[in-house]
Copies of this chain bind each other. A is one copy, B any other.
Amino acid sequence: MPNRPGSPTPPPPRRRLGVEQYVEGVLARDRGVLARVITLIESRRPDDRETARRVLDALVPHSGRSIRLGITGVPGAGKSTLIEAMGMNLLDAGRRVAVLAIDPSSRLTGGSILGDKTRMPRLSTRDDAYIRPSPTGSTLGGVAGHTREAMIACEAAGFDVVIVETVGVGQSETTVADMVDTFLAVLIAGAGDELQGIKRGLVEMVDLLAINKADGENRRPVERAVAQYRNAIRLLHPPESPWIPPVLPCSAREGSGLDALWEQVLAHRQALERAGLLSEKRRSQAVRWMWDLVDDSVRRMLREGPGLRDLAEGLEARVRDGELTASTAADRLLSALGL
């Protein structure tokens, strides 16, 4: 999937390998080759994309054997500290951990705030961990696609926990929720008695809530927040639900509450498996993603194709101003594509 025109071209890989070499390198857990495969995935050169596709098609059968955990939270909620601390615990337990990031704000800043390896100084020096910044300058659809494919590559390279991190902006949370098994929101208690407002739609999407920074004087506010969120969650989930999202206090800085949090990640997974829903969830996610990619490509052709772009913008403006029905406009767009 090409990036938007005008976005910076990623640096070319030093020397291109053949499809078999990439595949073998990844399966042999060669981190250098893994990194180059992900660079191919993110490339907007058609030949790179073609290579990436063939590599991925060969890797797909070796993927899927990880715990896929999504983590969201506003900036300042302590996500990196939490991922670093939880990740180190997992490494100690013999897990291999990959951290991928989806950062929609990188389109604005031109650089990724999430991908900065210095945010996770201990994790980033370990051979059994792999941290990958999100590519910059792409559409969210593009970034999300790259992240999904990077997840496949990481799994094929033997990482058995893949953490996909995002900040709570716009569509990115829905996107991440739709590529992981378990979705965790990291929240903090507000100052004083006030709960920090939680983004509309988020509670409905998460499988697990952590109220972070339960340390020092902040312990009591966190306890109150935990109780309030538990009440809210109970109201939103019928008692017969297969899973009622737990709300847990933790302190990523002090390392407390993280084992309990991980236990709930595993418990959620077991609940899905027991209900026969885990593989079905992944299958539906993959199929939905295929159709979303079709939509995304068609829309991109219409928004960016020479000749089509002006037509699309003009029709959009007329629909926006109530001069034309959406269905007349949609038909004209389809005709312009020859459909």
**CB pair A53 B330 closer than 8 Å:** no
CB within 8 Å for A229 and B239 given contacts A294-B302, A295-B295, A320-B286: no
Contacts of A282 in B (CB 8 A): 322
- Check A301–B235 contact: CB distance below 8 A: no
The residues of B that contact A53 with a CB separation of less than 8 Å are: 325, 327-328, 331
Which residues of chain B come closer than 8 Å to A229, judged between CB atoms?
A: 235
Residues of B within 8 A of A84 (CB): none
Q: With a CB–CB cut-off of 8 A, which chain B residues contact A316?
A: 287, 290
A64 close to B330 (CB less than 8 A): no
Interface residue total, chain A, C-beta cutoff 8 A: 67
Stretch at the interface among A93-101, A110-118, A120-128, A200-208: A200-208
Among B60, B64, B235, B339, point to the contact of A297 (Cβ < 8 A): B339
Given A204-B203, A235-B228, A339-B298, answer yes or no on A325-B57 (Cβ-Cβ < 8 Å): yes
Contact B287 A294 (CB under 8 A): no
Residues of B within 8 A of A200 (CB): 204, 236-237
Determine the chain B residues whose CB is within 8 A of the CB of A241 once the complex forms.
Answer: 197
Q: Chain B's nearest CB lies how many Å from the CB of A205?
A: 8
Given contacts A236-B232, A238-B197, A319-B286, contact A294 B334 (CB under 8 A): yes
CB–CB B149/A325 < 8 A: yes
**Can you add 17 more A-B contacts, CB < 8 Å, to A195-B235, A298-B334?**
A53-B327, A53-B328, A57-B324, A61-B323, A197-B236, A200-B237, A201-B204, A204-B204, A231-B235, A282-B322, A283-B322, A286-B319, A289-B326, A290-B316, A294-B333, A294-B334, A298-B298
15 contacts between A and B (CB under 8 A): A53-B325, A61-B323, A196-B238, A197-B238, A198-B235, A200-B204, A231-B235, A287-B326, A289-B319, A290-B327, A291-B299, A293-B326, A297-B334, A298-B339, A337-B339
